[in-house]
Amino acid sequence: MSAGKILVVDDDPQIRRVMKATLVGHSYEVIEARTGEDALETILREMPSLVLLDMNMPGMGGLETCRAIRGGSDIPVIILSVRNTEKDKVAALDAGADDYVTKPFSIEELLARIRAALRRSPSGPEGGPRAIASEDLEIDFETRRVRANGKDVRLTPKEFEVLRYLVAHAGKPVAHRELLQAVWGPDYGDEPEYLRVFINQVRKKIEANPARPKFIVTEPWVGYRFVAPG
């Protein structure tokens, strides 16, 4: 039984062969694309569960491809790159990637990242709100519908899980490590740049003034806190 269908996007045929053999050996179905343009066509045709996307490709690069994918799909995207600076990671996450893995990497690390990208985090503690309804913000957690400031808002799966976890702990500071592990998984905790990017993205979508947020506020040196609408 397949653990999921993964699209490997890389212009190097040897890398694609190695990745395919490895992932197939771990029960994943693998399809390939050698360019960003090929990847976009393949996604529409094959509907993969996840995309492994090389950052440095000729023609349509990884970031441009990721933005194009995210423009029409919520499919999980993991960027693979030899670059290891925070600037590069933030650029990839800003483009819509769910995760960023630096080459060279161990297959164990990559498999853990794939599992984390495919998982859906729990909604939080039992008894958490099923919905929020106010003049400025409406959230239905069962239908995953969000409406802010009179407009329907589209959140990516990871953005929604970040928001859901904060709402489930409304009024309480949520530490960076706790939020990372709740949304991405137990192997995470030291990637605060992930949260900065995703919190900024969610704020842009639900806050009337993202620079002065009233729903998701920063707790200095700790994390973030959701302030329930009155």
User: For the segment 146-203, what is each residue's pLDDT rounded down to a tens digit?
Assistant: 999 999 999 988 999 999 999 999 999 999 999 999 999 898 999 999 999 999 999 9
pLDDT in tens, 28-44: 999 999 999 999 999 99
Amino acid of residue 44: L
Q: Please write the tens of the pLDDT for every residue from 121-155.
A: 444 444 467 888 899 999 998 888 999 999 999 99
Domains and CATH numbers, the chain: 5-118 (3.40.50.2300), 131-226 (1.10.10.10)
Q: 78: which residues sit within 8 A by CB, 6+ positions away? A: 50, 51, 52, 53, 97, 98, 99, 100, 101, 113, 114, 117
